[in-house]
């Protein structure tokens, strides 16, 4: 029987893959905490857990009429971002996929009313930087699978997809890690203003109200109170979390949903990226299971 052995929310902002000299120029001479945070995550968590498969909930992979899961045996090529080709150009990538898990996830959705997931192995299916930007820091020998964020979905839909994934993993011989790749509050400064707000200090976040909303989420995670986060989504939506916070909701849906009791521990500072809120938070599996208090 398979199991989900760990889960985390991780930032994928383009800054992390810029040269260190450039990162420091943008951040008043200091390194951003996101880069050493990812390095620690690989060393202190992934190397210890030794997962067979990493599932990435990719907030830049927007679908509309269904969720899609990548079902390739292997994905390789070069990636150039249409959003920021100056910073992410011809980036090589090569990683094995997990078509068995992808198809198992889609099959679980077939058994659930009003849950639509399709497994796709088209060799020309685009890949996006919430997956690609993590690879230099986190990729080892494990398989990698990306899942889309459906832009017409509601919180209950994301939770349902996560629950399907949890059941699919249980039926396979897998040790799986989940990565919710995306930001918290996610409003950019305008083009004429954003260069004044490139430093990572949270004072540059778009509004104080957005930062306060993020901190309420972080406080709930620190308590292992995922019910408060799930139930608070209607209010949090006003601060435009990236991908409608679907990356987090699918992740937590796979490990118990609002009943999850896993405590979050930060692997970076809470940082700004031209108005948006970025952080790495890791959720260890509690000794008694995901719905048990630590």
Evaluate whether residue 292 is within a structural domain: no
pLDDT of residue 294 exceeding 80, the answer is no
Compute CA 187 distance to the chain's CA centroid, rounded to the nearest angstrom. 17
**Are the CB atoms for 172 and 129 separated by under 8 Å?**
no
Q: Is residue 16, in this structure, part of any structural domain at all?
A: yes
- Residue 215 is predicted with a pLDDT of 98
Residue 294 located in a structural domain: no
Q: What is the mean pLDDT of the chain?
A: 97
What does the alpha-carbon distance between residue 272 and residue 183 come to, in Å, rounded to a whole number? 10
Residue 206 lies in a domain: yes
Tell me what pLDDT residue 220 has: 98
For the residues of 164-187, what is the DSSP string, one character each? Answer: HHHHHHHTSS-EEEEEEES-SB--
pLDDT for 132 = 98
Per residue in 176-208, pLDDT (tens digit) is: 999 999 999 999 999 999 999 999 999 999 999
Q: In whole angstroms, how large is the CA radius of gyration of the chain?
A: 18
Per the domain annotation, does 266 fall within a domain? yes
pLDDT at 52 over 90: yes
Residue 251 sits in a domain whose CATH number is 3.40.830.10
Rounded-to-integer distance, Cα 6 and Cα 177, Å:
5
Residue-range definition of the domain harbouring residue 55: 3-284
198 exposure class (CB count in 10 Å sphere: 0-12, 13-18, 19+): middle
pLDDT tens, position by position, 72-130: 999 999 999 999 999 999 999 999 999 999 999 999 999 999 999 999 999 999 999 99
Which pairing describes strands 281-284 and 264-266: parallel, antiparallel, or unpaired?
antiparallel
- 16-20 contacts: CB < 8 A, separation 24 or more? 16/133, 16/137, 17/87, 17/88, 17/91, 17/133, 17/136, 18/87
247: enclosing H helix or E strand: helix 246-254
pLDDT of 30 higher than 90: yes
Phi, psi of 155 (to 5 degrees): -50, -40
289 in a structural domain: no
In a domain, 291, yes or no: no
131 Cβ contact list (under 8 Å, min separation 6): 12, 56, 58, 61, 144, 146, 181
Q: Could you tell me the CA-to-CA distances from 13 to 82, 89, 198 in Å, in that order? A: 14, 15, 12
Asked if residue 290 belongs to a domain, the reply is: no
Q: What separation, in Å, do the N-terminal and C-terminal C-alpha atoms of the chain show? A: 23
Domain count, the chain: 1
- Measured between alpha carbons, how far is 41 from 243 in angstroms, rounded to an integer? 23
């Amino acid at each position: 029987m398979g199991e989900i052995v760990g889960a985390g929310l991780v930032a994928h902002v383009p800054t992390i893959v810029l040269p260190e000299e450039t990162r420091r120029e943008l951040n008043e001479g200091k390194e951003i905490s996101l880069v050493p945070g990812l390095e620690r995550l690989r060393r202190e968590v992934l190397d210890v857990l030794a997962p067979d498969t990493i599932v990435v909930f990719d907030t830049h992979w927007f679908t509309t009429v269904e969720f899609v899961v990548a079902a390739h045996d292997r994905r390789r090529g070069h990636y150039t971002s249409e959003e920021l080709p100056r910073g992410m150009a011809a980036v090589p990538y090569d990683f094995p996929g997990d078509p068995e898990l992808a198809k198992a996830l889609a099959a679980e959705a077939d058994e659930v009313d009003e849950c639509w997931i399709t497994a796709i192995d088209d060799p020309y299916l685009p890949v996006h930087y919430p997956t690609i930007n993590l690879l230099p820091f986190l990729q080892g020998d494990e398989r990698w699978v990306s899942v889309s964020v459906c832009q017409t979905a509601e919180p209950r839909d994301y939770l349902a997809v996560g629950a399907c994934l949890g059941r699919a993993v249980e039926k396979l011989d897998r040790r799986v890690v989940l990565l919710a790749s995306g930001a918290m509050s996610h409003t950019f400064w305008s083009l004429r203003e954003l260069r004044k707000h490139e430093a990572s200090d949270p004072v540059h976040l778009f509004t104080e109200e957005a930062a306060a909303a993020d901190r309420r989420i972080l406080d709930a995670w620190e308590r292992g109170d995922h019910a408060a986060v799930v139930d608070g989504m209607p209010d949090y939506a006003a601060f435009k979390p990236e991908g409608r916070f679907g990356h987090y909701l699918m992740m937590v849906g796979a490990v118990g949903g609002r009943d999850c009791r896993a405590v979050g521990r930060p692997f970076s500072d809470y940082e700004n990226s031209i108005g948006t809120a970025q952080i790495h938070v890791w959720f260890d599996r509690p000794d008694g299971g995901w719905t048990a208090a630590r």
